[in-house]
Amino acid sequence: MVKKHSAIVLFLLAALLLFAGYLFYQTQQEPNGQRPPARAVAVKTTEAAIQPLARQVNALGTGLANNSVQLIASSSEYLTYLNVIEGQSVQRGDVIARLNDVEQRARVAELQAQLTEQQRQLERLKNLAATQATAQSMLDEQQTRVNTTLAQLESAESRLRQMTIRAPFDGVLGLRSVSQGAYINSGSVITTLDDISVLRVEFNVPERFIAELSVGMPVTIGNVAYRNVDFKGEIKAIDPRIDPVTRSVRVHGVVDNQDLRLRPGMLLNVRVTLTNQDVLMVPENALVPLQNRQYVNKVGTDNKVTQIQVQIGERIPGWVEIVDGLSEGDEIIIEGVQKVRTGVTISRVE
């Protein structure tokens, strides 16, 4: 048993001596005992460059009709005429509906006849007054009667006009809510009328952009129903008040809609172009995020890497603005960033 343990010890000592000899041999082969230089890491690089950047604000908006009303009955009466073809375009002044107006027409005719007779009597009294054949008081009384009847006639004609419902502006009729011949109450909705030849777009913009907003700025509108179509418009109005809850300002834009493809109530994607300027840009995949900071790997003239912190600005798909930390022409790593660190030597690949 003792001999067996002795053999194991001798074997381990021999192995240790062989390993020490190997290390000594390797040291003798390397000049001055230094290790050979590490192999360069293959990466892909590019240069930070000045490029034009259009600063944009993206928002969700809602489509609104340029003008929109509900056409309602002014009094309770039978609906004797209905000219509503749903979805039809109408012109301002077109008759949409008419209520039973027989009584109003008779009242107007009665007052017109009464006014004619009173005016005839007034002219006769004026002639007599000119020759002092009648008292001035009788002339004044007759003038009062004429004025009273004239006021009653104007009121009756106004009520008669209200029995006919006309389009107040050019637009498109909506769905009808009543049928011809029905008895409807005052205030009943007959149909709707919308002017959508120009569509208003309501959206909110964060308050930090308010200094850059102005009436007339171009806007681009999109909708999921028309995936590859951009509708061009402009800002029409900016609310003077800031919403204290959302800290945003309400903006109205307008877009031409003569083909009526956009409709009120649509959810719209809105892009507002604020400014166009030249800025320093780098590919987005050059960034190395660390906690709340952003870094890039800059390549020096000796092909060695230095990781530096940068301050970023606006982002667009695939690119990011560098506000501070880089200069135009600086070489940075865009592929292989995970394989390098400060002090590493790199080799470039196409």
Q: Which of 168, 190, 155 is nearest to 77 (CA)?
A: 190
* 3-12, 64-73, 148-157, 212-221: least confident range: 3-12
pLDDT at position 19 is 66
Q: What are phi and psi of 297, to 5 degrees?
A: -100, 110
Between residues 239 and 301, which one has the greater pLDDT?
A: 239
- Dig out the tokens for 346 from the structure: 């790199």
Residue 183 has pLDDT above 70, yes or no: yes
pLDDT tens by residue, 341-350: 888 888 888 7
Note the helical H segments in the chain: 2-29, 102-130, 136-162
pLDDT of residue 191: 93
pLDDT over 70 (residue 329):
yes
Q: Which residues of 262-285 are buried (b: 16+ CB within 10 A; e: fewer)?
A: beeebebebebebeeeebbbbbee
What is the CATH T-level fold of the domain 101-162, as seen in this structure?
A: Helix Hairpins (1.10.287)
pLDDT of res. 238: 94
CATH 2.40.420.20 for domain 41-53+278-348: yes
Model confidence at 34: pLDDT above 70: no
State the pLDDT confidence band at 267, using cuts at 50, 70 and 90. Answer: very high
Residues 6+ apart with CB under 8 A from 45: 299, 331, 332, 333, 334, 346, 348
This model's pTM is above 0.85: no
Q: Which overall architecture, per CATH, does domain 57-65+195-276 show?
A: Beta Barrel (2.40)
C-beta separation of 172 from 260 below 8 A: yes
Distance of CA 276 to the CA centre of its chain: 20
DSSP symbol at 244: T
| Nearest residue to 53 via CA among 296, 273, 233 | 273
**Per-residue pLDDT band at 143 (split at 50, 70, 90):** confident
**Exposed (0-12), middle (13-18) or buried (19+): which is 106, by Cβ within 10 Å?**
exposed
Say if residues 218 and 232 touch (Cβ distance below 8 Å): yes
Q: What is the pLDDT of residue 9?
A: 63
Domain map of the chain by residue range?
A: 2-33, 41-53+278-348, 57-65+195-276, 101-162
Nearest alpha carbon to residue 254 among 228, 217, 226, 227: 217
Please name which of 284, 279, 316, 276 lies closest in space to residue 50, comparing C-alpha atoms: 279
pLDDT average, residue stretch 277-281: 87
Q: What's the mean pLDDT in 215-224? A: 92
pLDDT of residue 25: 60
pLDDT exceeds cutoff 50 at 245: yes
